[in-house]
Structure 1
């Protein structure tokens, strides 16, 4: 009997322990199953859509996989009325091109006929993009050859023009006004911000812009932090008036028509004091026929005289004169580069040049995307000198008020070959 009494509790303990182990194993199996199932819940991204709410996430089709070729996807974002959309790219990996011609993401202010806040490709992520209203539109386009995982962006709703925050920009329609960087003048502007001001005057007026104070991170090519000003109501490199950085206020700017678009961008590193600028509407017809006195070196109240095609200039016989040595000191800029686009307007040719080497920068406006540099050059007489898209040239010429290179028949241009490299390296150290 004692043996029987001792054995029975042992069996009960064994049975109880078995039950406990069974429960624990079941919970463990459930936990493992739950954890393993998590990847199945990953958000899937489709081609475009309408997205509403206070915040959200947008990704290219199939992200993080390679996006498909030959697609055009449109996302329409809407946040509550009275707020603005703040968009931040968390990841960007599209086919790289210095002009973003192949695969790209466009961001627009509003849903219909809004100005473009920027076009992006490659892997460089812009700062925050802020709309002026409660709507924003993204459009991604890919060609037949894709290269990358696409993009991932987050958006949120914010109150417009919050003091001391990174939100800035807007639509300016009063006859005069002021625009400035976030935090001005209490402290430096923040890193990673984009501000866009769209100034709209009546149709019979133009816009004058002056900077009272100006301090933006200095760089020879204004690659990191900069202010860019465009004729019209959107970002359009063909209509860019200038790109500015450093601590010297730019000269007064005058619009060609009744609209200007001003964009300020800061990257994610160094910042500076920022700027305060003023604008005012002026009558379209300005007194530009009277030449300033010869002692006036920096006229500030007259509209810059635009570059004009001269029929007389282009009637000269087209023949290259002189040598690189004889033109070097008299040229404002000297570069070698490949003509990647050339468009004829009027009697002139407007070319975009991908720069190979810079021997003399002068006041030439140079853009940089990654390791690629490019610039705009105007061939005053479209047939002289003759340049063709896809070929390499040495360009020696002058610059206009907008920083574009200008080339006339009397300037020096020639096809560039590797054997010429030593000659121009020698010229680079020449004292003028």
Structure 2
């Protein structure tokens, strides 16, 4: 979900820096006459300032981990607004990413994990501290990020949205509710605390956020706990289906709403109330037995739910799943039905070229098993002949990430050069179907592929 204005923003920001219009210097960034030098982490203690990835606007370093701790004056909260975001894109931000925490530790609530080139909305802490942690792997790098932090008063935080709540019951709404749609580029954090012997029940009356399979763009997320390491994700929701009622496992609940800079919608109205620990009630959600991530992808509804290994003494009534049951022989895992077929390459170079969205040659640099018998593949490009919507990462070497629908077919080996043809998913990632056209690549094949490229399909 790239934004066309990103290049303009980057150029404007560099002009801003070069003009010398810089805030007070912090310990983690030093000015060299008119241009700041961003370092790998540091302590930023100031009313306001800029924070950025190491060596920005040059590419950040591979295999690095940088931590910045931001502190604004007492009585304020931290507001962080992103000016540039260019971190290796991945739908789940698994490779390179920037984490933001609601305090000076990764043991407190995570305000979000970010990657790609779309800029998140403003992040707001519930105290005068925030921590950023950026991690990169050994492969693809981008320019990184630049953000502006400032201390704002609790009153201005509440006017934006969010804040600390200690009432036993109340409502949570998106900004502008119900008169208008919520604005783009917004982040709200509510920290709800009730009596120690109570837990918090949340129910939704209205719900309509931008839909996305992984709820990456606009979403509301709920976290258990307060300032300790029990602050774990309960659920992350988007789309047009209201989440089922949910319950915290303690007397503290963090609610975070984020919207990006593009599509907006009506928003949500949620009610919360404190209930005695151990209460049994009929409308409780599926929180008694923890499960792994479950994603509902029925367009346009998208609801992603994650629960943790911490449970409460509540005994909700749980509806049986309606999806078909898969019989599994004891001791064996379910088999990817595609992998049960014989692995046979389909088509010729000419027919496959015309039927494919991308055609390229490259060296396989990494093979990582994925969910449900799939395989994630990293490729360093030699040559592209057809790219379509395929996302290509530029750097010292041009790279792409592909996913094979069956890890056994096509059979690829790390460190080997191949001709690869396939499709492209909605995230710009290449896909290799079972039996997709692949072949070992030798330099003489380049002339053959160029001839095929020139022929009409």
Give the TM-score normalised by the residue count of structure 2. Answer: 0.55
The answer to whether residue 117 in structure 2 is matched with residue 105 in structure 1 is no
Structure 1 pair 416/168, CA: closer, same or farther in 2 (3 Å)?
Answer: farther
Deviation, structure 1 residue 362: 11
The answer to whether residue 118 in structure 2 is matched with residue 124 in structure 1 is yes
Structure 1 pair 225/362, CA: closer, same or farther in 2 (3 Å)?
Answer: closer
Q: Contact between 2:239 and 2:302, CA under 8 Å: does it hold in 1?
A: no
User: Which residue, out of 288, 292, 304, partners 2:285?
Assistant: 304
The Cα offsets for residues 286-345 of structure 1, whole Å up to 9 and x where unpaired, read as 335xxxxxxxxxxxx53235475xxxxxxxxxxxxxxxxxxxxxxxxxxxxxxxxxxxx9
The answer to whether residue 96 in structure 2 is matched with residue 148 in structure 1 is no
User: Which residue, out of 128, 133, 142, partners 1:134?
Assistant: 128
1:162 counterpart SS class: helix
Structure 1 pair 282/66, CA: closer, same or farther in 2 (3 Å)?
Answer: same
2:154 counterpart SS class: coil
Structure 1 pair 262/419, CA: closer, same or farther in 2 (3 Å)?
Answer: same
**Count, aligned residues:** 301
1:30 maps to which residue? Answer: none
Aligned ranges for residues 32-431 of structure 1 at < 5 Å?
41-112=34-105, 113-162=107-156, 167-217=160-210, 222-233=215-226, 239-246=233-240, 249-287=242-280, 301-306=282-287, 308=289, 350=292, 365=303, 383=331, 385-386=333-334, 390=369, 393=372, 418=433
Between the aligned partners of 2:266 and 2:299, the Cα distance in structure 1 is 27
Q: Contact between 1:161 and 1:169, CA under 8 Å: does it hold in 2?
A: no
Note the aligned Cα RMSD (angstroms): 4.3
Between the aligned partners of 1:120 and 1:109, the Cα distance in structure 2 is 15
Between the aligned partners of 1:57 and 1:287, the Cα distance in structure 2 is 49
Between the aligned partners of 2:373 and 2:137, the Cα distance in structure 1 is 32
Deviation, structure 1 residue 202: 4.5
Between the aligned partners of 2:178 and 2:78, the Cα distance in structure 1 is 25
Q: Contact between 1:182 and 1:190, CA under 8 Å: does it hold in 2?
A: yes
Runs of 5+ unmatched residues, structure 2: 1-17, 20-30, 306-324, 337-367, 375-405, 410-432, 437-457
1:296 maps to which residue? Answer: none
Between the aligned partners of 1:109 and 1:103, the Cα distance in structure 2 is 20
Deviation, structure 1 residue 171: 3.2
Structure 1 pair 259/150, CA: closer, same or farther in 2 (3 Å)?
Answer: same
Q: Contact between 1:164 and 1:182, CA under 8 Å: does it hold in 2?
A: no
Deviation, structure 1 residue 415: 8.9
Q: Contact between 2:62 and 2:141, CA under 8 Å: does it hold in 1?
A: no
Runs of 5+ unmatched residues, structure 1: 1-33, 289-300, 309-344, 368-377, 396-413, 422-432
Deviation, structure 1 residue 203: 4.9
Q: Contact between 1:379 and 1:385, CA under 8 Å: does it hold in 2?
A: no
The structure carrying a bigger helix percent of its residues is: 1
Between the aligned partners of 1:66 and 1:239, the Cα distance in structure 2 is 32
Structure 1 pair 219/116, CA: closer, same or farther in 2 (3 Å)?
Answer: closer
Q: Contact between 1:163 and 1:182, CA under 8 Å: does it hold in 2?
A: no
Between the aligned partners of 2:294 and 2:276, the Cα distance in structure 1 is 33
Structure 1 pair 98/123, CA: closer, same or farther in 2 (3 Å)?
Answer: same
Q: Contact between 2:211 and 2:238, CA under 8 Å: does it hold in 1?
A: no
Deviation, structure 1 residue 56: 1.0
Q: Contact between 1:173 and 1:199, CA under 8 Å: does it hold in 2?
A: yes
